Amino acid sequence: MAEVTHSTPPHADEVSSFLAGLAQFHLGPLWQVLGQQLTPTPTSRVRPHLWRWREIRPRLLRAGELVSAAAAERRVLMLLNPGLEGQVATTHTLYSGIQLILPGEVARTHRHTPNALRFIMEGQGAYTVVDGEKIPMAPGDFVLTPNWTWHDHGNEGTEPVMWLDGLDMPLVRLLEGMFFEPYAQETQPLTKPTDASTAEYGKGGLLPTWQRSTSPHSPLLKYAWREAREALMSLGTNAASPFDGTMLEYVNPVTGGPALPTMASFLQRLTPGQRTAPHRHSSSTVYLVVEGHGCTTIDGKAYEWTPGDVLAVPTWCVHAHANLSTHQDAILFSFTDAPVMRALNLYREEAL
Ligand code: GTQ
């Protein structure tokens, strides 16, 4: 072996020609990128962003005039993060979009490995079918389409129905775990009673003794609005979190864990004039404004919101909420990738 000596410092052009010769062997010097890779805290290209309902809604209805559900498979306007140009992503892990289904339409049956959740925003008469169970959906309902379940949607009512979709699609793509399959027919047979999962698992802590779901997702597929809102409102506000106000998680009734293995979902209340304390955490969040008028400050910039607006909060950004009304509660729905971060021991939270 040749002797390695540092007695004479190498010439700069010797070093640069050495470095230039590495690429052809698919080698690279770690010492040039160490600081960019091992950053003290997360660095995200994701930008905080607010999508306004008054800008989304008319365009979604216009899409309804121009594109049929049959042609689109899913008629959705995606909420694309301005920091992630070219990617189908609302944050680095989470995708969100607003879906429209018109009276009489069917969105054909398919299944995929990304988990999906829905929060109904407007319109009566729509339903989704998940693995043979028909689930009627009304505004405020929170509905799950877990990983690899067959699902189709329909609208049997007389008005357009719109909802927020949340999927872990960017995460699944990053992990290269994407599988998709269309069903052979447009719709699937109804093999279970309507709202079967509500009958079995939706009765507040009373669970069937002869079966206990062991699936990694919640066996309860719908969390109805009336009960969710009532649960939120019946809580006192005194002991609420300084960071989140009064907040409930939509949990798996068997485990108490998140409704989906990759996404946790929440409903929170901010009382009139309430301001939460700033904090940050290593999970990204998509918020949907359900009721009220307020403002979220993210890394020093204020985003003022009203119902139907959607807000993306990137990971590790300092954020705080304010209810700007003096007389009306604000209610926010949100979902995060926190379960993934916790499972991998990457979750951190910091008060400021
Ligand atoms: O409703 O099945 O927003 O498959 C994106 C992908 C909705 C759905 C989306 C989907 C769906």
Which residue has the least CA distance to atom 11 on ligand 1?
74
Q: What is the pLDDT of residue 148?
A: 98
Average pLDDT over residues 278-296: 98
Q: What percent of the chain has pLDDT over 90?
A: 94
Q: Is the per-residue pLDDT at 152 higher than 90?
A: yes
Long-range CB contacts for residues 242-246, cutoff 8 Å, separation at least 24: 242/276, 242/277, 243/276, 243/277, 243/278, 243/279, 243/320, 243/351, 244/268, 244/276, 244/321, 245/269, 245/270, 245/271, 245/274, 245/276, 245/321, 246/270, 246/271
Site of tokens 């919640």: 218
Q: What is the pLDDT of residue 51?
A: 98
145 CA: nearest ligand 1 atom: 2
Whether residue 197 contacts residue 224, with contact meaning beta carbons closer than 8 Å, is answered with no
DSSP string over 133-193: EEEEE-TT-EEEE-TT--EEEEE-SSS-EEEEEEE-HHHHHHTT---EEE-SSSS----S-
Q: What is the pLDDT of residue 327?
A: 97
Probe residue for ligand 1, chosen from 51, 73, 74, 94 as the CB with the greatest number of ligand atoms within 8 Å: 74
Does the CB atom of residue 88 touch ligand 1 within 6 A?
no
What does the pLDDT look like over 215-229, one tens digit per residue? Answer: 999 999 999 999 999
**Which residue from 321, 320, 267, 323 is spatially nearest to 293, judged by alpha carbons?**
323
Q: Which two tokens stand for residue 64?
A: 């309804």
Please, which pLDDT band fits residue 239 given cuts at 50, 70 and 90? confident
Q: What is the pLDDT of residue 6?
A: 60
Q: What is the pLDDT of residue 194?
A: 98
What does the pLDDT look like over 28-71, one tens digit per residue? Answer: 999 999 999 999 999 999 999 999 999 999 999 999 999 999 99
CA dist., res. 209 & res. 6, Å (int): 74
Partners of 163 in the β-ladder = 99, 120
Please, which pLDDT band fits residue 140 given cuts at 50, 70 and 90? very high
Whether residue 315 contacts residue 284, with contact meaning beta carbons closer than 8 Å, is answered with yes
Lowest mean pLDDT segment, chosen from 135-139, 201-205, 285-289: 201-205
What does the pLDDT look like over 293-337, one tens digit per residue? Answer: 999 999 999 999 999 999 999 999 999 999 999 999 999 999 999
Average pLDDT over residues 167-182: 98
What average pLDDT does the chain have?
96
DSSP H/E element including 218: none
Does the CB atom of residue 99 touch ligand 1 within 6 A?
yes
78 CA: nearest ligand 1 atom: 3
Site of tokens 């008028």: 293
Partners of 288 in the β-ladder = 310, 333
Q: What is the pLDDT of residue 271?
A: 96
Q: Is the per-residue pLDDT at 117 higher than 80?
A: yes
Q: Is the per-residue pLDDT at 5 higher than 70?
A: no
Does the CB atom of residue 97 touch ligand 1 within 6 A?
yes
Domains parsed from the chain with CATH numbers: 49-201+220-351 (2.60.120.10)
Q: Is the per-residue pLDDT at 276 higher than 90?
A: yes
Q: Is the per-residue pLDDT at 2 higher than 60?
A: no
Q: Alpha helix (H) ranges present in the chain?
A: 12-20, 34-37, 53-66, 69-72, 169-174, 196-201, 225-234, 338-343
Q: Which two tokens stand for residue 314?
A: 């990137």
Q: Which two tokens stand for residue 167?
A: 């999927």
Whether residue 135 contacts residue 222, with contact meaning beta carbons closer than 8 Å, is answered with yes
Q: What is the pLDDT of residue 238?
A: 76
76 CA: nearest ligand 1 atom: 3
CA 316, chain centre distance (Å) = 16
Q: What are phi and psi of 259, to 5 degrees?
A: -60, -35
Q: What percent of the chain has pLDDT over 70?
A: 98
Which residue has the least CA distance to atom 8 on ligand 1?
74
Q: For the whole model, what pTM was predicted?
A: 0.95
118 CA: nearest ligand 1 atom: 1
Partners of 333 in the β-ladder = 267, 288
Q: Is the per-residue pLDDT at 3 higher than 60?
A: no
Q: What is the pLDDT of residue 7?
A: 63
Ligand 1 center–CA 205 separation, angstroms: 30
Probe residue for ligand 1, chosen from 51, 76, 161 as the CB with the greatest number of ligand atoms within 8 Å: 76
Does the CB atom of residue 74 touch ligand 1 within 6 A?
yes
151 CA: nearest ligand 1 atom: 2
Does the CB atom of residue 285 touch ligand 1 within 6 A?
no
